[in-house]
Amino acid sequence: MPLSYTILVIAIPLLMFLFLGLAGVKMGKKLTGVLGVCAMGVTTVIAYAVALTYFFGTGDGQIVDGVRQQLVLNDWTWLKFSENLVVKLGVLLDPISAMMLIVITTVSFMVHLYSLGYMSDHHGKPEKGFQRYYAFLALFTFSMLGLVVSTNIFQMFIFFEMVGVSSYLLIGFYYTSPAAVHASKKAFIVTRLADLFFLIGIMVLSFYTSTFDFKALMANPTNALASAQGATFMGCSVMAWALTCIFIGGAGKSAMYPLHIWLPDAMEGPTPVSALIHAATMVVAGVYLIARMFPLYVLEQGAMDIICVVGAFTAFYAAAIACVQSDIKRALAFSTISQIAFMMTSLAVSTADGALIEIHEGYGLGYMASMFHLFTHAMFKALLFLCAGAIIHAVHSNENSDMHGLHKFMPITSIAFLIGCLAIAGIPPFAGFWSKDEILVACYAKGMGWGLWMSMVAGLTAFYMFRIYFLIFFWKKHEIHTEHAPADQPWTMTLPLIILAAISIVAGFVPAGELVTWDGAHLHTQLNWSVAGASVLIALVGIGLAFKLYYKENELPEKMKNALPNLWEAAYRRFYMDELYQFITHKVIFQNISKPIAWFDRHIIDGTMNLLGDVTNSASYAIRRLQSGSIQGYVFVYLVGALLIAAVTMICVMI
C-alpha cells in the first residue's frame, strides 16, 4: 500500500467525528456505534498496511545507506507569517510515528468495539449520549493520530491542545455528576498549564533555530544547539531552558510528578475512555514528544538530568501509592503514571559524549527500550483497563471491597487480567518482560544506582498489580449485591479482551531493536541475562508477597496497615499532593493574590466605570426635557441666541 495513504488514517476519524457529531442525533444509537466501529476498523487496517509498508518496504528511497529514512509525505503551508515563521501541516513517517499509528489505531479500535457493550445497560440498550460518545472518541483518535505524524513542533502543539480538549470532553462525559465535571476541569487546567510552558519552550527554541520543522532540527541537532550559543538565562543556556519547558508540557500530558494530579481523577470518565486516553495513548504523548526531539535532548545534558530525576521519582512515587489504593481504576491510573515514568527515565538515561554523537551502550538503547515499552504498555494497560471496565460493568462499583472472589463468575476476564498482570510485572515471555528488561539494561548502563532504583520499582509494580488481581478475583467468596450475578460480559466486550491478551503475550517478540531506533539504523540487542534474571526474581518476589498477603482472606494486611498507620494513610491519600495543591491554590493564590485583585477590579476599576456611566445617565435624565423634539422651540431658542449675539455685537460696535 502506498505510504501516501497515511493521510487517510488521519482523515477518516476526522470525517467520522464530523459525521457522527452532526448527523448522529438523527441516526439510531446502535447504527452510530456500529458505524464508528466500522470506520475505526477500516482506519486500523490502513494504518497497519502503511506501517508495515514503512517498516518492511524498500521502495521510494525509504532506505539510504542501510538507514531507514524519515519521510515527509505531505507538508502544506497553513499560516505564513514571515520567511521563517511558517506553520505547516503535514505527515511525517518515521519508525516511532509508524509504531504509534499501530498502537493508537489498535487500542482505539478495541475501545470502539468494547464501548458498544460497555456503554449499554444489561439489556443491551445504549446509554444516553451514545452518539456524542462516539463522536468524541473519533475526535480523540483524530487528534492523537495528527499528533504523532506532526512534521513540526507547532503542528504538534495544535494537536496537543486538541488531544487535551477531547480528553476534557470525554472525562466530562457524565456531565451530570459533579465529580466528573471537577475531574474534567482539573485535567484541562493542569494540562493547559503545562502546555503554556510547552508554548514558551517552542517560542524560545524556534526563536533561536528559526525553524519549527522536526526534520530540519533533527538533521543537525548540533547546529540547532549552536545557534543559541552564548545566550544564557539565569546561568543556564537558553536551549536547556527551552527543552525543559517543552518537557514540562510533555510532563503535563504524561502526568509526571508534580503534574500528575489530574490523571487519577480523570478516571471519572467512562472506563473505555480511561483505557484509550489515560492509559494507552494520550498520556504517552509527552513521552512521544521527548522521543521526537530526542537528538536535541541528548545533547543538552541539563534537561536530560531533570527528566531523569523526575521520571525516576515519579515511578517510585506512583508505584507506592498504587499499593494501597482501593479503587481499582485509581490503582491502575497510578500504575500508568509509574509505567510512563519508566519510559521517561529510559529516554533520559541516554547520554552522549560531548557534541559527538556516538553510540555506546545505553545510548540509543534507552530510546529504543522506551518506545518498545510504550508499545507493549499500551497493549497490556489497555487490556487491564478494559478488564476493569468489564468488572465494573458487572458489579457496578469501583471499590475492590465490592468485588472479591470474582474468578468463578468471570473466568475469561480473570484470565485476561492475569495475563495483563504478568505482562506488566515482567514475567517472561509476556510483553512487559522484554521491554522492561531493556529499560533496566539502559538504566544500569547509566549507573548502578539508577538501575537498582528502577529494579525496585519494577518489583513494586509486580506486587501492587497482583495485589489488585488477588483482591478482585480471590480473597474471599463473592457476595452478590445486585440481582444479577456478575458474569462475563457480551462478546463485544470480551473479544477485545481476548485480542489484547493475545497481543500482550506475543508483543514482546516484535524485533523492536530492528525497527524502532532513533536514527533508523538497526540496533542489535541481546538479552542481558543477569539483569533479566534479577528483574524476574524481583518480580517473582513481589508476586509471592502479594500472593501471601492477599490470596486468601487473612489478618496480615490489616496488621501491616496498623503497624504503620501514618504511612498507609499518607499513601492512600496520595501523599497529600491534592491537599497541597488545594492549599496552594486556595489558601495562597486565591486568598492572597486573587482576592485583592478581584477586590481592586470590582471596586476601583468597575467603580470608576460605573461612576462614569451613572453620572452620564443621571445627567442625561436630568436634561432630557431640553431635547423636546419640537422644532419650533428650537428655532425660537436659536433666534433668541442670534439676537443676543447681535445685541452684543451692537454694544461692542457702539462702544
Partner 1 sequence: MESLGNIILYFVAALSIMVFSVLTVTTKKILRSATYLMFVLLATAVIYFQMNYEFLGAVQIAVYAGGIVVLFVFAIMLTHKPGKDAEPLTMHKKWLGLAASLLGVAVCGYALFSYAKFCGAKITAVSTMDMSELGHTLLSTEKLGYLLPFEAISVLLLACIIGGVVIARKR
Partner 2 sequence: MYLVPSLVMFGCGVFGFITRKNMIAILISLELMLNSVDINFVVFNRFLYPEQTEGMFFTLFAIAIAAAETAVAIALIINVYRVVKNVDINQLTKLKF
Region near partner 1 per CB under 8 A, out of 11-19, 137-145, 432-440, 635-643: 635-643
User: How many angstroms separate the Cα of 647 from the Cα of each of 487, 560, 637, 650, 655?
Assistant: 107, 108, 15, 5, 12
Rounded Cα–Cα distance for residues 312 and 303 (Å) = 14
Residue nearer to partner 1 on the CB measure, 588 or 640: 640
Binding mask 583-622 for partner 1 (x = CB under 8 A): ----------------------------------------
Residue nearer to partner 1 on the CB measure, 509 or 634: 634
User: Is the separation of the CB atoms in 310 and 255 below 8 Å?
Assistant: no
Residue nearer to partner 2 on the CB measure, 178 or 641: 641
Region near partner 2 per CB under 8 A, out of 183-191, 423-431, 594-602, 626-634: 626-634
**Closest CB 622 distance from partner 2, rounded Å:** 13
Query: Which stretch of DSSP H or E encloses residue 74?
Result: strand 71-80
Residue nearer to partner 2 on the CB measure, 231 or 650: 650
Cis ω before 258 (30° cut-off from 0): yes
Region near partner 2 per CB under 8 A, out of 230-238, 286-294, 608-616, 630-638: 630-638
Should residue 38 be labelled a site residue for partner 1 when binding is judged by CB under 8 A? no
Residue 92 φ then ψ, to 5°: -115, 125
Cis ω before 429 (30° cut-off from 0): yes
Query: CB within 8 A of 628, min separation 6: which ones?
Result: none
Please select the residue that binds partner 1; options are 175, 583, 590, 636, rule is CB under 8 A: 636
User: How many angstroms separate the Cα of 65 from the Cα of each of 234, 290, 327, 501, 520?
Assistant: 43, 26, 53, 38, 10
Should residue 635 be labelled a site residue for partner 2 when binding is judged by CB under 8 A? yes
- Written in H, E and C, the secondary structure of 408-457 is HCCHHHHHHHHHHHHHHHCCCCCHHHHHHHHHHHHHHHHCHHHHHHHHHH
Residue nearer to partner 1 on the CB measure, 611 or 640: 640
Should residue 648 be labelled a site residue for partner 1 when binding is judged by CB under 8 A? no
Residue nearer to partner 2 on the CB measure, 25 or 644: 644
**Closest CB 23 distance from partner 2, rounded Å:** 49
Should residue 643 be labelled a site residue for partner 1 when binding is judged by CB under 8 A? yes
Residue nearer to partner 2 on the CB measure, 123 or 624: 624
What residue type is 247 in one-letter code? F
Rounded Cα–Cα distance for residues 559 and 556 (Å) = 5
As a residue count, the chain comes to 655
- Total residues contacting partner 1 (rule CB under 8 A)? 8
Please select the residue that binds partner 1; options are 590, 640, 641, 648, rule is CB under 8 A: 640
Query: Which stretch of DSSP H or E encloses residue 206?
Result: helix 178-209
Q: Reduce the DSSP state of residue 78 to 3 states and report it.
A: strand
Rounded Cα–Cα distance for residues 66 and 405 (Å) = 55
Residue 506 φ then ψ, to 5°: -95, -15
**Closest CB 649 distance from partner 1, rounded Å:** 9
Query: Which stretch of DSSP H or E encloses residue 91?
Result: strand 86-93
Binding at 624: pick from partner 2, partner 1, none (beta carbon under 5-8 Å per type): partner 2
Region near partner 1 per CB under 8 A, out of 73-81, 92-100, 274-282, 640-648: 640-648
Residue nearer to partner 1 on the CB measure, 598 or 646: 646
**Closest CB 627 distance from partner 1, rounded Å:** 20
**Closest CB 647 distance from partner 1, rounded Å:** 8
Binding at 629: pick from partner 1, partner 2, none (beta carbon under 5-8 Å per type): partner 2
- Total residues contacting partner 2 (rule CB under 8 A)? 9
Region near partner 2 per CB under 8 A, out of 64-72, 375-383, 598-606, 625-633: 625-633
Beta bridge partners of 120: 126
Q: Which residue has the cell 524502532?
A: 516
User: Is the separation of the CB atoms in 413 and 318 below 8 Å?
Assistant: no
Residue nearer to partner 2 on the CB measure, 175 or 636: 636
Binding at 630: pick from partner 1, partner 2, none (beta carbon under 5-8 Å per type): partner 2
Should residue 639 be labelled a site residue for partner 2 when binding is judged by CB under 8 A? yes
Residue nearer to partner 1 on the CB measure, 223 or 649: 649
What residue type is 304 in one-letter code? M
Query: CB within 8 A of 158, min separation 6: which ones?
Result: 146
Query: Which stretch of DSSP H or E encloses residue 348?
Result: helix 328-348
Residue nearer to partner 2 on the CB measure, 232 or 628: 628
Question: What is the DSSP secondary structure assignment for residue 517, as one 8-state letter?
Answer: -
**Closest CB 646 distance from partner 1, rounded Å:** 5
**Closest CB 612 distance from partner 2, rounded Å:** 21
Rounded Cα–Cα distance for residues 292 and 72 (Å) = 14
Should residue 646 be labelled a site residue for partner 2 when binding is judged by CB under 8 A? no
Residue 500 φ then ψ, to 5°: -65, -35
Should residue 67 be labelled a site residue for partner 1 when binding is judged by CB under 8 A? no
Rounded Cα–Cα distance for residues 10 and 207 (Å) = 30
Binding at 643: pick from partner 1, partner 2, none (beta carbon under 5-8 Å per type): partner 1
Query: Which stretch of DSSP H or E encloses residue 376?
Result: helix 365-395
**Closest CB 628 distance from partner 1, rounded Å:** 14
The H-assigned helical ranges of 210-266 are 214-219, 221-226, 238-254, 262-265
Query: Which residue in 217, 193, 191 sits closest to 205, CA to CA?
Result: 217
Binding at 631: pick from partner 1, partner 2, none (beta carbon under 5-8 Å per type): partner 2
**Closest CB 632 distance from partner 1, rounded Å:** 8
Binding mask 595-624 for partner 2 (x = CB under 8 A): -----------------------------x
Binding at 626: pick from partner 2, partner 1, none (beta carbon under 5-8 Å per type): none
Should residue 626 be labelled a site residue for partner 2 when binding is judged by CB under 8 A? no
Q: Report residue 115 as a C-alpha cell.
A: 464501548
Rounded Cα–Cα distance for residues 90 and 33 (Å) = 30
Please select the residue that binds partner 2; options are 56, 354, 629, 652, rule is CB under 8 A: 629
**Closest CB 649 distance from partner 2, rounded Å:** 18
Region near partner 2 per CB under 8 A, out of 85-93, 390-398, 604-612, 635-643: 635-643
Residue nearer to partner 1 on the CB measure, 537 or 643: 643
**Closest CB 631 distance from partner 2, rounded Å:** 7
Q: Report residue 362 as a C-alpha cell.
A: 545505553
CB atoms within 10 A of CB 543: 22
Q: Interface residues with partner 1 (CB under 8 A)?
A: 636, 639-640, 642-643, 646-647, 650
